[in-house]
Structure 1
């Protein structure tokens, strides 16, 4: 690898001359995703109105794109050898070489697709005004350099759910443009679900008349009780002509569109149009709220004929190798009570309803295989046995991917912990409504799509990864872009760049500049680059607060009395001693003004802060927070975002936590909270047991119920337990927290182990 700058961040001396040849300020140019190798020289190539392009038919799409892009910036392109496209059969299908010297630019690739990615890199070496056609100069000095580049993974995708909320064809094209700009190659289009069927199927007109529309939509969050609805008819669908238009548009940018037609679950909209597709035959409505519904496809001949007919029309529209068939969150309640289903289980020698789902998926796979296509589905398709040729999209963590890869099946990684862009991305209370969770930019960037449990041989089955955007709480385009960007940029680097070239601090520096490109492309994005991270750390029984911010050349100013920081406030230079409960405010400043939002942290300085703490089970690696020490660091987690660094998450484990105070201390209260987001499979425990150890070896135990019955669970809140009036002297406190157990039928995640999330343990 050759890098002139740290981890390849390019500070290019790009001089733009106006029509009067007055120099405009030199600008930094960021390349995202990070190329494999960059070698920069001191000379420049002058791009001007005399610049010419030489390309053969092999590179028609990429050369036409470059010609159009330059001309939009006012650079008329002629035929000639200034910019030359060259066939190099030694390069891989998506690899390229970009060689810029003083007198020419050479783009080498073995395919038009590889050359297209070279053009996307060259695009980022030009002024951002080219994006809007607002560049007014006569020439651009581009630094001479050599870039050798190729992707790490073959599958580099972004997903979009249009069933919950629908978006225009123009916006879908804009979304595909962004995918292509970032050298991603797959658009996963989620077209059918309980809340709406979004693709025209001519043989079944009721899909357009009934399944495409719902009578109203949930207002607020699913957790808000009682549920309220707006009573407004909502819906629509993409005509087959519009679908063809989108697919053709994507093809011109080397983006493959994979349609998703959900089965056997998430089918209530289709069943609303054709009740005979369900097990009961009863009329249902297109769902108006979010969640998992019991009305799923009945595995009978009418259903299979319907789905084969639907897929026949889908295959005519989408040339993709993969067809996504969903396969997730299919409650088996209807099947258990269906005489036909039970008879089918018996006649086919199936073990249970899970194997019946495998039978269903395998039958559909055989049909698609007969048409020359392959199925891809969410990791629930593993249940009951995986269909022979299926590819698994692993969303419930990485265990599904590991199981599939070890069985020789291809895998696309998209776990909720790192790839669900409908989660909150900041702790700020002014963030737009989201489903829950917490997925900041840094966590996306740090994702490694290859599970550590896989051998080198098994790793070859990991095709890549994708970011997912589910739109229950995303009704408009600006909101969608805010959730997608800049996390999409981080994901592009996860799937393209070599791990040894990745560096988050460097990425942030490039991203700060890339914001200018997003601005001129009219892409709304979340800007959290000037936010502050803070941690309370313990050392020799003393507590200190540390700050850090991502962007360089900025100053952090803070207050300890709860007032807003300003240009006169204390400058942070070293960690701050904390000896009492404190409300700390801080912000990032330049020499003139505050740049980011104010960081606020309230610290409760209780008797367990700085104590020794141990736990019998490690938290899940996706939700490890600040480690076990974070449970007694004086800082409580978010009220609505269980994925922040203060909540610890455990999947199916019984937990035992020991707090060693170091000496006998008098305590009066113990309190903590458990997250209770049932829609995310998170359940507060039914009870906890607390054991108190005294210095003389004596002990006593209390058992505390958190609720009287399961029916009393309130979704998506925090269950608080507070033990008061203890008035005892103890040396150690042991908390025993049994897992809730298996998620009950009718709930999201039914049949899976529940998660336990625990917050700060406050001892006073």
Structure 2
């Protein structure tokens, strides 16, 4: 073939590949729309299509056109209303919800109808998911885009759909903040909660107080590893920075263009050590303190003096004009009262204002700041501790310590935003895999986020209207990089987006994960470092009705195969196929993984099963484990599987908050035993304490004696505290174990004044 003929052949191939559209993207929309009807045929998008918009939707149409120009290199025509093919953004005042929209795609036109520009924007975001993922990284190489004909009617369930980011513990670039906001907008989130101040750093420029930039924005060093490590280690490197007011304006403008409201959080009265480091007169002691170099709660909080209120009002006078939204978040959480109790001025103020105690003083503090913020046309949001001592008149409560704060506030007629640790803290571990990156603790898998219901069942229909919506939180003590923020937030934020937007009657986790597996392609194209746990296995040891112990393995992704080994080797395509419950014969190490026809898709899942005399025994537990840390239930204490050595939130550890625990094990027949052992998690930074003592009782069937034994448990800094009762060989059927709670957390420790948690692992009987 000569060069001329070859050149013409290449041009011909390029013409074929570049002009023929790819098949249309199937509508795996996230969040799932309220109504979606597939139609036959496609709309072909190219540069000859006209883009038309009613006056109120022009800005959204321009946003869409800019998107196409960025991704395809051309914009659509905006003047030809008689064009053969059009995309129209149409005002429709009959749509009830201000954020609702209707999207119609047929062969000749695409119409997005909405009552407001915000609704039109969400219509565009749905249309965006019907476009090829390759557009997102500018690798789409066709002239035409085939868009599936479809009919969608959609509107959000909740008006508040938020995500949070803590930049105080670790700070992130303006470019990353914009990327984060853009990703939220694609999921139809409408609020970005920007946590700007805390003990470890002040991150917003306040021109009247230059030491906030010079001192409060920087800490001397940072904790390495986990807070619970003994001894604690530090990196010895100065860390810090802040956002200038000009940078803040740019972020807010960027968010506003995507219909996201930015809520700043300026913490008060607690989490103020960085500010007090800059201006010691703001504290009760007046002594110099350092910007905190490790995580947790600190006793140096704002003193409720006039000069403190003047400082905070001046700060807010600079902050509020930067954020045009309705809300200012003032924190209000985790404010130890130690300094106030010892402060002569605070005690006089309590008497002068006829306050009950220091909790009443906190309420006074919050109410005074609320009055000032209200006078500027803004409203406050606070964490649920602002309920203590009486709630400020117009405050919105962000409920994080469970549902009780939300229930109390809603029943009192206050607006509520749901963000409980149990379902909304994305700094928790999301997988049982031991190679997960370091996290603060806890366990919050994707499935649990997805099935979150922000409406507490204790609320009546009229009270439930005070629940504005829900928010996911990303606290960054253990998240030093933007890449790790993405890993911890995604895909859990995607599940939270669907919680907030979609009709709960559509809940179907298998369908969600299937749609998510397709959405991953968009995240890949946008270089998002998401956590992909879709191909991981959920597994446990259970007892069947015929009293046989079995391995029970599951995976949520459709049409995939689980293969396993029991010889401690990693499974391959040649390994045994899991077809159902797998009976256990003696101590076993099971490894399993998900496969398709060609390759392994996920990481190995491992269960180490160690047989002992109480495995599968009948067990009673009083009280039940806390619902947030219920593990595998009471049967999990005698299933032959121990909990993780490095985290307390997996399926095997059971947590009890402030309660004494009594466990009764029925071995079902008289059995010779020589020892009973267990272990406790001991992470004081997370309010978890091993008990001070443990008791055991049993009846010796050989002589009828009831025997009791109480052992002291040495107090230690170790994370794992094992304890064993060595018993002279006796025969018994029933074993009763009594575990008193540690009690109240002492002053100077994280959570001081609160009841401690007890975390209990497998009870091994030999």
> Where on the TM-score scale, by shorter chain, does this alignment land: which range?
over 0.9
Q: Deviations over 1:339-362 (max 9, x none)?
A: 111111111111111111111111
Distance 1:317 1:156, change over 3 A: same
CA contact (8 A) 1:558 1:587 kept: yes
Q: Distance in 2 between matches of 1:640 and 1:90?
A: 56
Match of 1:749 among 723, 748, 751: 751
CA contact (8 A) 1:331 1:745 kept: no
2:650 is matched with 644
SS of structure 2 residue aligned to 1:550: coil
1:616 Cα shift?
2.2
Q: Deviations over 1:250-278 (max 9, x none)?
A: 10001000000001111111011111001
Question: Gaps spanning 5+ residues in structure 2: where?
Answer: 1-13
CA contact (8 A) 1:354 1:384 kept: yes
1:85 is matched with 89
Residue 48 in 1 paired to residue 52 in 2? no
Residue 563 in 1 paired to residue 562 in 2? no
CA contact (8 A) 1:61 1:116 kept: no
SS of structure 2 residue aligned to 1:358: helix
CA contact (8 A) 1:216 1:232 kept: yes
Deviates more, 1:639-648 or 1:370-379: 639-648
Distance 1:693 1:64, change over 3 A: farther
Residue 527 in 1 paired to residue 526 in 2? no
CA contact (8 A) 2:21 2:144 kept: no
CA contact (8 A) 1:17 1:137 kept: no
SS of structure 1 residue aligned to 2:465: helix
1:700 is matched with 707
Q: Distance in 2 between matches of 1:687 and 1:399?
A: 31
Q: Distance in 2 between matches of 1:446 and 1:305?
A: 45
Residue 758 in 1 paired to residue 764 in 2? no
1:161 is matched with 166
SS of structure 1 residue aligned to 2:461: coil
2:189 is matched with 184
Q: Distance in 2 between matches of 1:122 and 1:480?
A: 27
1:422 is matched with 427
Match of 2:630 among 624, 633, 649: 624
1:550 Cα shift?
1.7
Q: Deviations over 1:423-477 (max 9, x none)?
A: 1111222211111111111111111111122222211111111111111111111
Deviates more, 1:21-30 or 1:727-736: 21-30
1:718 is matched with 720
Residue 584 in 1 paired to residue 583 in 2? no
Match of 1:611 among 608, 617, 623: 617
Q: Deviations over 1:529-563 (max 9, x none)?
A: 11111111102321111111121222211111112
SS of structure 2 residue aligned to 1:727: strand
Q: Distance in 2 between matches of 1:123 and 1:130?
A: 9
Distance 1:267 1:692, change over 3 A: same
* Aligned 1:734-745 pairs, distance under 5 A: 734-745=736-747
Q: Deviations over 1:560-590 (max 9, x none)?
A: 1112211211111121111201011111122
> What TM-score results when the alignment is normalised by the length of structure 1?
0.95
Q: Distance in 1 between matches of 2:491 and 2:16?
A: 31
Q: Deviations over 1:210-241 (max 9, x none)?
A: 11111111122111222222221111110111
Distance 1:24 1:697, change over 3 A: farther
Match of 1:400 among 405, 410, 421: 405
SS of structure 2 residue aligned to 1:618: coil
1:597 Cα shift?
0.8
Distance 1:585 1:323, change over 3 A: same
Deviates more, 1:733-742 or 1:102-111: 733-742
Q: Distance in 1 between matches of 2:645 and 2:465?
A: 41
2:664 is matched with 658
CA contact (8 A) 2:23 2:146 kept: no
Q: Distance in 1 between matches of 2:482 and 2:669?
A: 58
Q: Distance in 1 between matches of 2:517 and 2:194?
A: 30
1:71 is matched with 69
CA contact (8 A) 1:559 1:585 kept: yes
> What TM-score results when the alignment is normalised by the length of structure 2?
0.95
1:323 Cα shift?
0.6
SS of structure 2 residue aligned to 1:325: strand
1:34 is matched with 32
SS of structure 1 residue aligned to 2:529: coil
CA contact (8 A) 2:20 2:144 kept: no
1:118 Cα shift?
0.6
* Aligned 1:58-207 pairs, distance under 5 A: 58-74=56-72, 76-79=75-78, 80=80, 82-91=86-95, 92-207=97-212
CA RMSD of aligned residues (A): 1.7
CA contact (8 A) 1:72 1:132 kept: no
CA contact (8 A) 2:218 2:238 kept: yes
1:73 Cα shift?
3.4
CA contact (8 A) 2:66 2:75 kept: no
* Aligned 1:230-249 pairs, distance under 5 A: 230-249=235-254
Distance 1:376 1:697, change over 3 A: farther
1:653 Cα shift?
2.1
SS of structure 2 residue aligned to 1:541: coil
Distance 1:105 1:320, change over 3 A: same
Q: Distance in 2 between matches of 1:217 and 1:763?
A: 43
1:488 Cα shift?
0.9
2:472 is matched with 467
Deviates more, 1:75-84 or 1:559-568: 75-84
1:13 is matched with none
Q: Distance in 1 between matches of 2:461 and 2:52?
A: 42
1:367 Cα shift?
0.7
Q: Deviations over 1:360-412 (max 9, x none)?
A: 11111111111111111111111111111111111111111111112111111
Q: Distance in 2 between matches of 1:21 and 1:321?
A: 49
Residue 732 in 1 paired to residue 734 in 2? yes
SS of structure 1 residue aligned to 2:641: coil
1:309 is matched with 314
Deviates more, 1:696-705 or 1:54-63: 696-705
Residue 514 in 1 paired to residue 514 in 2? no
Question: Gaps spanning 5+ residues in structure 1: where?
Answer: 1-15
* Aligned 1:424-443 pairs, distance under 5 A: 424-443=429-448
Q: Distance in 2 between matches of 1:632 and 1:61?
A: 62
Residue 275 in 1 paired to residue 277 in 2? no
SS of structure 2 residue aligned to 1:78: coil
1:54 Cα shift?
0.9
1:11 is matched with none
Distance 1:470 1:220, change over 3 A: same
Q: Distance in 2 between matches of 1:743 and 1:35?
A: 47
1:43 Cα shift?
2.2
CA contact (8 A) 2:643 2:650 kept: yes
1:754 Cα shift?
2.1
Match of 1:358 among 363, 370, 386: 363
* Aligned 1:304-343 pairs, distance under 5 A: 304-343=309-348
1:747 Cα shift?
2.1
Q: Distance in 1 between matches of 2:572 and 2:22?
A: 33
Q: Distance in 2 between matches of 1:569 and 1:732?
A: 41
Q: Distance in 2 between matches of 1:88 and 1:27?
A: 27
Deviates more, 1:244-253 or 1:423-432: 423-432
